[in-house]
Amino acid sequence: MTAITDDLVLPPRRFSLATAIRRNPTIAFGAVLLAALIIVGVFAPYIAYSDPFKIAPVNRLKPPSERWWFGTDQFGRDIFSRTVYGARVSLIVGLSVALFSSAVGLALGLLCGYFRKVDGIVMRIMDGLMAIPSILLAIALITLTRPSLGIVILAIVIPEVPRIVRVVRAVVLSIRSQPYIESAIAGGTKNTKLLLRHVLPNTLAPLIVQSTYVCASAMLIEASLSFLGAGVPPEVPSWGNIIAQGRTFFQIAPWTILIPGIFLAITVLAVNLLGDGLRDRLDPRLARRL
Amino acid sequence: MTAYIVRRLFATLPVMAVVALFVFFLLRFAPGDPAAIIAGEDATAEAIAAVRAKLGLDRPMVEQFFVWMLQLAQGDMGVSIFSNLAVTRLISQRLEPTVALTLSTLFVAVALSIPIGVLAAWKARKLVDRLVMGFAVLGFAMPGFVLAYILIYFFAVQWQLLPVQGYRPIAEGLWPFVECLILPSVALGVTYMALIARITRASMLEVLAQDYIRTANAKGLATDRVLLLHALKNAAVPIITVIGIGIALLISGVVITETVFNIPGLGRLTVDAVLKRDYPVVQGLILVFAAAKVLVNLIIDISYAFLDPRIRY
């Protein structure tokens, strides 16, 4: 019997940032943009040079200039400071909706894919929820409660959960019949261990990809809700609220809408690019289809 | 075929039932006291009690449920808290602008995005393809209302080519009607176009790699014939699917687009109802929008069977 030689062992690959960026330009681009926005959000009080809530009627509707980088709104509030603080709302909503809906969606998806009895009932409910346009579902919930950030997050999580459940369930169904799952069942592995040890890891890649898309969509829905007057309370400087308050004066002061609007578009773009990049990297089967 | 259609029709019933149950229980189990919230910030106890009575919330839950189901089965969606008009009447009054906007957007989006997608697939990895994909990525990130304001700023305010906002019924003439719908349709349709163009490209790329396409090219068929007759037809199923999925996007987008362009349709009705916390109207609108979405899915599913005879359920 010959000894096993170490010839085939590859030298440990050194992590090179330059190579990583060259291989995944979209991930790098999206991540850098998103990181920049997170920095802006976290350090908002240091970046904003003036109080975003301060009303100064003398300075109303001033165009962008050296004094007011992004101009002022109809109350003389500084749009730059408000936009900087607005990053916080978008990021909090985007990240928490992604987190909560992934957690709930993962749990339900695993159960549905694995236990046929649960599947019938839960999937009927998910189909029903999917039939309601997400903005309307959120609006209905908000009509019945007092506006707050928490309610807005909840109102966006509910319509996003079915999207995660479907992705996770599809993965579970496809690996359920794999021989290694069958042999685990034959070997007497308990359901909980089987789900957590053997099934769960397979769902993670599509789950991460899907949750970035959920994050982007949550940011858009939050801004839309605020824009319609059904989002976070109007005094909170969210991008949707800044745009909503600029509507009346749009023709003479377009910056009140365009600047927060561009920030929103760039943020959503960053998250989507990150999602596309992660999908190409983590889920090549899906990537080939698009 | 008929059996399939009938089976598919019955399958829509549980979905609509879940939607109906959802709006029923949402009002009954919302955190806090919905009646107090609907009545307003400084409502008296009597006013709150009046709202509760009007919504039927003061009666036993089982009774409420059966009364509500019975009314719904008869097409009665209740009465608006504010105007005291029947919700069905409010909705039917506002139907035309929304249907016009949705159909014109659907038309604009499909007519522009499928050729773009086919072009991108044909010229894959060339400049045209990169431009199309760039547009698709941007279009997907652009919030509809921001784009709407950008369009208004240039086309209506700066160049004064199109009206800033408003809606004219088709009865007032074709051009005024169309003129008012151009900007809203483009603003509403961009995300949708991005979606369709991307899927068209992907689906076409897959089909163009098939052997029969090589055969068609080799026997000297004209390029347009190969692209349209041989490739696009076989690439149609995913495209149709995404057109259907996208209608959901349109329905959500309608609410916002109508607000920006001041179009008196179902979207405006929704926003007004939310601001007045008129729950019966919101509830009726959810049922109507969900029914529209279920109907679209039904049509899409049935169209598969026609497009691809291999599909049988």
- State whether A258 and B149 contact (CB < 8 Å): yes
- State whether B15 and A145 contact (CB < 8 Å): no
pLDDT at B225: 81
Minimal-distance CA residue of chain A relative to B253: A135
- Pick A51 or B242 by higher pLDDT: B242
Lowest mean pLDDT among B127-131, B272-276, B287-291: B272-276
Q: Is B86 helix (H, G, I), strand (E, B) or coil?
A: strand
Confidence check on the interface: ipTM exceeds 0.90, yes or no: no
- State whether A131 and B294 contact (CB < 8 Å): yes
Q: Is the pLDDT of residue B313 over 60?
A: no
Distance CA B27, CA A140 (A): 9
- State whether B259 and A227 contact (CB < 8 Å): yes
**Nearest neighbour of B289 by CB, restricted to A136, A264, A265:** A136
> If you average pLDDT over residues B184-212, what whole number do you get?
90
Q: Is B190 helix (H, G, I), strand (E, B) or coil?
A: helix
Burial A258-277 (b: 16+ CB within 10 A, else e): bbbbebbbebbbbbbbbbbb
Distance CA B9, CA B299 (A): 10
pLDDT at A219: 93
- Helix-strand-coil percent breakdown of chain B, rounded to 5? 80, 0, 20
Three-state secondary structure readout of B94-138: CHHHHHHHHHHHHHHHHHHHHHHHHHHHHCCCCHHHHHHHHHHHH
pLDDT at A168: 92
pLDDT at A290: 46
Residues 6+ apart with CB under 8 A from B70: none
pLDDT at B179: 85
> If you average pLDDT over residues B130-154, what whole number do you get?
88
Q: What does the DSSP 8-state code read for residue A44?
A: H
pLDDT tens across B160-178, in order?
A: 888 888 888 888 888 888 8
**Nearest neighbour of A268 by CB, restricted to B141, B157, B164:** B141
pLDDT tens across B58-87, in order?
A: 778 888 888 888 888 888 888 888 888 888
pLDDT at B312: 60
**Mutation test of the interface with chain B: which of A144, A146, A225, choosing the one with the most B Cβ atoms within 10 A?**
A144
| pTM tops 0.80 | yes
- Extents of the domains making up chain A: 54-59+68-287
- Could you tell me the CA-to-CA distances from B99 to A139, B19, B95, B282 in Å, in that order? 21, 22, 6, 18
Distance CA B63, CA B67 (A): 6
CATH code matching the domain that covers A54-59+68-287, chosen among 1.10.101.10, 3.30.365.10, 1.10.3720.10, 2.60.40.420: 1.10.3720.10
In 10 A of CB B85, how many CB atoms?
Answer: 12
Over chain B, what is the mean pLDDT? 86
**Mutation test of the interface with chain B: which of A143, A213, A262, choosing the one with the most B Cβ atoms within 10 A?**
A143
- A240: exposed, middle or buried (C-beta count within 10 Å: 0-12, 13-18, 19+)? buried
pLDDT at A111: 92
pLDDT at A164: 93
pLDDT at A94: 94
Q: How far is B8 from chain A (nearest CA, A)?
A: 14
Chain B hits for A250, CB-CB cut-off 8 Å, are 149, 152-153
pLDDT at B104: 93
Distinct helix (H) and strand (E) counts, chain B: 15, 0
Longest Cα–Cα distance of chain A, Å, equals: 91
What are the structure tokens assigned to A249, written together?
């004066």
**Nearest neighbour of A144 by CB, restricted to B26, B153, B251:** B26
pLDDT tens across B223-234, in order?
A: 888 888 788 888
pLDDT tens across B10-41, in order?
A: 888 888 888 988 888 888 777 667 777 777 77
Give the residue ranges of chain A where pLDDT is below 70.
1-14, 61, 284-290
- State whether B143 and A265 contact (CB < 8 Å): yes
In chain B, % of residues over pLDDT 90? 19
Strand partners, B79: B86
pLDDT at A44: 80
